[in-house]
Structure 1
Amino acid sequence: MSPVTLIRGANASVTNLLPAVSNVTVGFSWTVVQSNGPATEVVACAIVCGQDGKAVSGEHVVFFNQMLSPDEEVAYDPDGSLPGGDLEQIDVSLAKIPSNVMSIALVLYVNPDLRTPGTFDGVRDAVVRVLDRSGAEALRYEIETKDVGSTSAVVAAELYRRGNEWKFRAVGQGYAGGVRDVAKNYGFTL
């Protein structure tokens, strides 16, 4: 099966593409342009959202410092040997997601602790993709650097529930205020 490549704003059904799959992996990759200043460190995270589009709680923000959501349906994968060129991965057990969860925002941000005020200007080839557990790619979205270059956080994509179906949307929404603006938008504190 060839992966479906999406453009910004497009969506596709994960349920239809992977009908027998209840667990998926979201892979993130990018390239950082080397500079003479501090290196840009990009971080991936997932925000598990309720019906209001906000994080269910602060514990529902999954990243390297909080690696598992409370219901264990979303997990940050710290493995250093990731398949397919992914730099970070987040595992999602679609079958375990409680009915009050409507979406999972998939975010990339420049770590503000290591580079201030770092932006995506130095980031190229950013990709978010959905894989089945065997590592086969089903969906991919190549984030346009021109759309997010001067921002320091981007909601790259979203997994969302539509009836009994799970879908994937290519979002590409940059936030100039970085992860703090993302937190404000999704209703959690850092």
Structure 2
Amino acid sequence: MAISLAKGQRIDLTKTNPGLTKVIVGLGWDINRYSGGGEYDLDTCAFLLHGDGKAKGVEDFVFYNNLSVYDGAVAHTGDNRTGAGDGDDEQLVVDFAKVPAHITRIGITVTIHDAAAKGQNFGQVSSSFVRVVNEATNNELLRFDLGEEFSTETAIVFCEFYRHDKDWKFQAIGNGFTGGLAALCHNYGLDAG
């Protein structure tokens, strides 16, 4: 039975699941029926953060044009350009055993591609969630449903994994940004130019 988290909650992942080394991070969403504005293309990204809370370069950034970093420590399974259908719309695979020691956090985010040009935002997106699945057993460990609190935001930090001593923990975040991917890159220390 998966644990359902609320915004701001934290949970031990590897300590409470002995032997857990690899997880699938599934993210999903629906577009409101009266959304207008053409097709929606939401994109999942991961920012691998150093001790200062910042990514240092493209080697710390997983997205649809850079699908894997650090020999598969974090890998994107592919871009879903429509979000149609049930279940996960996009997935990342995190192999905690391969995450370098200098990486202390992994931020998991979703942006709307070309949101400004299309007049789109997360106020038009519903049923957003992130779930973490044990890759070895396919058991869902936890789930965080984001709710409907967004309006003009075009990027959201869904959650973060963070290292505590030798263990990894999960934090449900759900913070929105205007300015899309560029705003997230700036937040995490990367130059989006």
TM-score, length-normalised on structure 2? 0.89
Q: How many residues end up aligned between the 2 structures?
A: 185
- C-alpha separation in 2, matches of 1:71 and 1:37: 38
Match of 2:69 in 1: 69
Q: Distance in 1 between matches of 2:77 and 2:16?
A: 23
In 1, the alpha carbon distance for the partners of 2:133 and 2:67 equals: 19
Structure 2 alignment gaps of length 5 or more: 81-85
Distance in 2 (CA, whole Å) between partners of 1:109 and 1:36 is 18
Q: What is residue 123 of structure 1 aligned with on the other side?
A: 125
Structure 1 residues 5 and 177 mapped into 2: Cα distance closer, same or farther (>3 Å)?
same
SS of residue paired to 2:162 = strand
CA contact (8 A) 1:13 1:168 kept: yes
Residue 7 of structure 2 corresponds to: 8
SS in 2 for 1:189: coil
Show the 5 A alignment for 1:177-188. Answer: 177-188=179-190
Q: CA RMSD in A?
A: 1.8
For 1:76 and 1:129, locate their aligned partners in 2 and report how far apart those are by CA, in whole Å. 15
Q: Distance in 2 between matches of 1:59 and 1:7?
A: 31
What does residue 175 of structure 2 align with? 173
CA contact (8 A) 1:154 1:173 kept: yes
Segments of 5+ residues of structure 1 without an aligned counterpart are none
Q: Shift of residue 149 of structure 1? A: 2.6
Runs of at least 4 residues off by over 6 Å: none
Residue in 1 that maps onto 2:139: 136
1:72 and 1:45 map into 2 onto residues whose CA distance is: 15
For 1:143 and 1:3, how far apart are their aligned partners in 2?
Answer: 16
1:17 and 1:31 map into 2 onto residues whose CA distance is: 31
Distance (Å, rounded) in 2 between the aligned partners of 1:188 and 1:36: 32
Change beyond 3 A, Cα 1:150–1:162: same
Aligned-partner residue type, residue 4 of structure 1: I
Instruction: Specify whether residues 126 and 178 from structure 1 end up closer, same or farther in structure 2 by C-alpha distance, changes over 3 A only.
Output: same
Written as runs of structure 1 = structure 2, the 5 A alignment for 1:20-31 is 20-31=19-30
TM-superposition CA deviations, 1:45-81 (whole Å, max 9, x none): 111110011113222211111101134200001297x
